[in-house]
Structure 1
Amino acid sequence: MDSKCVISQIEATLDSAARGTMETVKDILNFEIVGIDVQTYLLAFLAIVGGFAGKRVAVAGLKRLGKTAERTDMAYDDILIAAANRPIEWACIIGGIWLSLVILPMPREPVDIEQFVNSMMRGGSTILLLWFGLRLVDGLTAHWEVKAEKTESRLDDQILPIIRSSSKVFIVVVGVILFLQNLGYSVASLVAGVGIGGAALAFAAKDTLSNLFGSIVIFLDRPFHIGDWIEMGDVEGVIEEVGLRTTRLRTFANSQITIPNALFTTSTINNWSRMQKRRIKMSVGLTYDTTPEQMALAVEAIREVIRNDEGFHQDFFIVNFDNMGPHSLDIFIYAFSITTNWLDFLAVKQRFLLNIMRAMAEVGVGFAFPTQTLHIDSLPGEPESLTSQRPN
């Protein structure tokens, strides 16, 4: 037997074995278990494997994104990635399971299993979104708490737990409503009932809610801090404590005033502690026997006092002969001290007034005070001899 015949026989044997193997594989794949062929089971199994493989890919991608986000100055991208990490992992697994269930034929009678599975998957997606929202709230509030610890006010430390709890309750309520809706339940009546109950609760607690929103406005706008000297209407004093409902202020008479936070949203607040400089506005009255030359010297002497005092801003001040009053010649003084501290300001002002007194003494003029000259034409019971001697 020559070699060509041997090769032909081998090829025929291999071809026959391959056809037999293919037929066997086809028979195995077409073999049905509970009415479903093995090929469909394998595809469903591969879908589940793909879900877990997608989880691995998602984890690796999120790690790379996390490393990239760490190199940025903004913290919110790190918070977003950290919040989405676990939900995305489970979304890959649940997606693989859902795809495997879609591949498998599901009966519709007597129970529509396919619709039930689709509803459960939509509900699962809602739960994942709910989980992501809760993790995001935790991350954001934790970041804000670190910032709040660096501030002087305790209001932000008190309000952050309320923001966290309120946000979580809101997310859970919305998530439950969406979950029930995806399961096929009618939530219109539930939403209407919640709306009516919320409106009634808001009306009953409108003052408390207005004060709470007032505290939020204080937290966001920061019109003052603990220890600031403020004036609002006829109330003036130093802020001692800012709470969720009220703010406590210590007056200069050492009494404590409690102010509802809602008033801060509708009233004008004058924060004296935020002055960049403190004003001195006053007039110095000289006697009427002051000559014009002495007045000019007096004005220049006061200007020189301000120039030589390091406690005053030198960029702007006014000293001018301003008025001829009923009992004095008035010099108007308008200047600003560098310090805004009250005690230091009083020391600067005292030094300034003493220097003015010394300067006026050197010029040779005197300070005026309210006086009146009384001209008597006649006195009751005056003797005729005195009347005849009065000059005409």
Structure 2
Amino acid sequence: MDSLDEMLGLTPGSTLIRDLGLALLAGLAGLVAGRIAQVALKRLLQRLPPNTLRHAAVDAASLPLVWALRLAGLWGALELLLSRGEAAALQGLVGNLYLATTVALATWLGVRIIGEASALWAKRASGTEDTFDDQLVPIVRKTAKVVLVCVGGVMILQNLGYSVGSLLAGLGIGTAAIAFASKDTIANFFGSLVVFVDRPFQVGDWVEIDGVEGTVEEVDLRTTRIRTFANSLITVPNSKMTVTEIQNWSRMKKRRIKLEVGLTYDTKPEQMRAAVAAIREIIASDERFHHDFYLVNFHEMAESSLNIFCYLFTRTTNWAEYMQVREDFLLAVMDAMAQLGLQIAFPTRTLHLVGAQPPGAPPAMLRQTPL
């Protein structure tokens, strides 16, 4: 370069201007190349069919590739400026930074590929009947990202001149403190193993865990997310899965209806028998109920009513459908009691006063007692 400058008759000042110009051109070339790649990749994505592996791969690689071209122009400009003798000492540091940046871009690319691939996997898993793969997707996604970022971080530290072996040896001094601080994380990890091995619930199940009731939205290595019926999102640590009771309402094979029909005390025995028979007929004639076992019996003379005990099960376990079946059953019972001329009782109390005036008698005189 120096001999070429002498042949061209360039002075140190003019060579500096030349190097600055070339560096500026290199930087602009990187920006232009990045812009061209951005437009080309955007058009390519529009032509590719969505929800395919090719579309996911191009979408994942687009941003890292654009930034790689931009940074290539930047590093080219720095290389031109640092080739001058007065800045040659910085070439080693800039070279290490270049390698570290390359590793960072590769790690970013890998993380984006994992994200796009897992999103595609999740869409396909949502179309299957088994929800186990729906639970597996976030676990695999987060685990792969953590491993990739850790490996990339180690390589970046090595390229920056740090001794990873010495760093890990230094961390060994505080192993006990780290283990104590991470005991909750370890407990959550084993809790997630319980969920995946025993499978007490799956994504989409209606569960009740430690007083939290709702629908399971996501299960990962640390927590389980439950969407309550009030539409709030509650995060439950997986460590609770090993020490608390889990009620999975979605695993019910049938739903129970348990109630009492109270009739007034003026109901005659033959009317009570007819009422019991009518309710049994309602259940037996409706295919929405299980007919292998149900109970309808006159079982109690309560304080203000004669109670008929009803114990039966619906075939559906869906909450909305169950509520409709229950409503239809109650209305049918009311219609049957009305046809029999019977009245549904309500809480009443009859008071018999000793020495009270008989009906139709004149009111008694009140005696005034002096104070």
TM-score by length of 2: 0.52
Q: Is the 8 A contact 1:250 1:257 kept in 2?
A: yes
Is the 2:139–2:219 contact (alpha carbons within 8 Å) kept by the matching residues of 1?
no
Equivalent in the alignment of 1:371: 348
1:212 to partner: Cα distance = 1.5
Q: Measure, in 1, the Cα distance between the counterparts of 2:300 and 2:362.
A: 45
2:267 to 290, 308, 311: 290
Paired residue for 2:210?
A: 233
- For 1:238 and 1:385, how far apart are their aligned partners in 2? 69
Structure 2 counterparts to residues 7-22 of structure 1, below 5 A = none
Mark the runs of 5 or more structure 1 residues left unpaired by the alignment: 1-144, 168-191
CA distance in structure 1 between the partners assigned to 2:255 and 2:237 by the alignment: 30
Matched with 1:217 is 194
Distance 2:217 2:299 in 1: 43
Question: Quick one: structure 1 residues 201 and 162, their matched pair in 2 at CA, closer, same or farther if it must change by over 3 Å?
Answer: farther
> What whole-Å deviation, never above 9, does each CA across 1:109-145 have from its counterpart, x for those lacking one?
xxxxxxxxxxxxxxxxxxxxxxxxxxxxxxxxxxxx9
Instruction: Provide the rounded CA distance (Å) in 2 between the counterparts of 1:279 and 1:331.
Output: 17
Q: Is the 8 A contact 2:135 2:203 kept in 1?
A: no
- Give distance in 2, aligned partners of 1:355 and 1:304: 10
Matching residue of 1:23: none
CA RMSD of aligned residues (A): 3.2
Corresponding residue of 2:131:
152
Q: Deviations over 1:32-54 (max 9, x none)?
A: xxxxxxxxxxxxxxxxxxxxxxx
| Contact 1:319/1:334 (8 A) holds in 2 | yes
Paired residues for 1:261-272 under 5 Å = 261-272=238-249
Q: Which residue of 1 aligns with 2:65?
A: none
1:162, distance to aligned residue in structure 2 (A): 7.5
In the aligned structure 1, how far is the partner of 2:142 from the partner of 2:365? 95
- Structure 2 Cα separation of the partners of residues 319 and 233 of structure 1: 35
Counterpart secondary structure, 2:364: helix
Q: Name the SS for the 1:323 alignment partner.
A: strand
Q: Please state whether the residue corresponding to 1:358 is helix, strand or coil.
A: helix
- Give the greater-gyration-radius structure (CA): 1
- 1:158/1:386 Cα in 2 relative to 1: closer, same or farther (>3 Å)? closer
> 8 Å contact 2:279–2:296 — kept in the other structure?
yes
Note the C-alpha offset of 1:258. Answer: 1.2
CA offset at residue 252 of structure 1? 1.6
Instruction: Give distance in 1, aligned partners of 2:172 and 2:246.
Output: 36
Q: Does 1:337 align with 2:314?
A: yes
Contact (CA 8 Å) 1:249, 1:258: kept in 2 or not? yes
What is the percent sequence identity of the aligned residues? 53
Greater mean alpha carbon deviation, residues 342-351 or residues 235-244: 235-244
2:135 and 2:183 mapped to 1: Cα distance? 21
Please list every run of 5 or more consecutive structure 2 residues that lacks an aligned counterpart in the other structure. 1-120, 148-168, 367-371
Aligned pairs, number: 217
Contact 1:302 1:356 in 2 (8 A): yes
Structure 1 length-normalised TM? 0.50
C-alpha separation in 1, matches of 2:334 and 2:346: 15
SS at match of 2:312: strand
Change (3 A) 1:385 1:341: closer
Say if 2:323 is the partner of 1:346: yes
* Residue pair 2:138, 2:219 contacting (<8 A) in 1 also: no
Q: Determine if the alignment matches structure 1 residue 311 to structure 2 residue 288.
A: yes
2:235 aligned to which of 229, 254, 258? 258
Q: In the aligned structure 1, how far is the partner of 2:285 from the partner of 2:217?
A: 39
Instruction: Deviation per CA, 1:38-83: give whole Å up to 9, x if none.
Output: xxxxxxxxxxxxxxxxxxxxxxxxxxxxxxxxxxxxxxxxxxxxxx
In 2 relative to 1, CA 159–233 (structure 1 residues): closer, same or farther, beyond 3 Å?
Answer: closer
SS at match of 1:239: strand
Q: What residue is the counterpart of 1:277 in the other structure?
A: 254
- Equivalent residues of 1:155, 1:244 under 8 A apart: no
Deviations 1:327-359, CA, capped at 9 Å, x for gaps? 000000000000000111111111111111111
Pick from 275, 278, 291 the counterpart of residue 301 of structure 1: 278
Q: Name the SS of the counterpart of 1:258 in structure 2.
A: strand
> CA, structure 1 residues 254+378, in 2 after alignment: closer, same or farther (shift >3 Å)?
farther
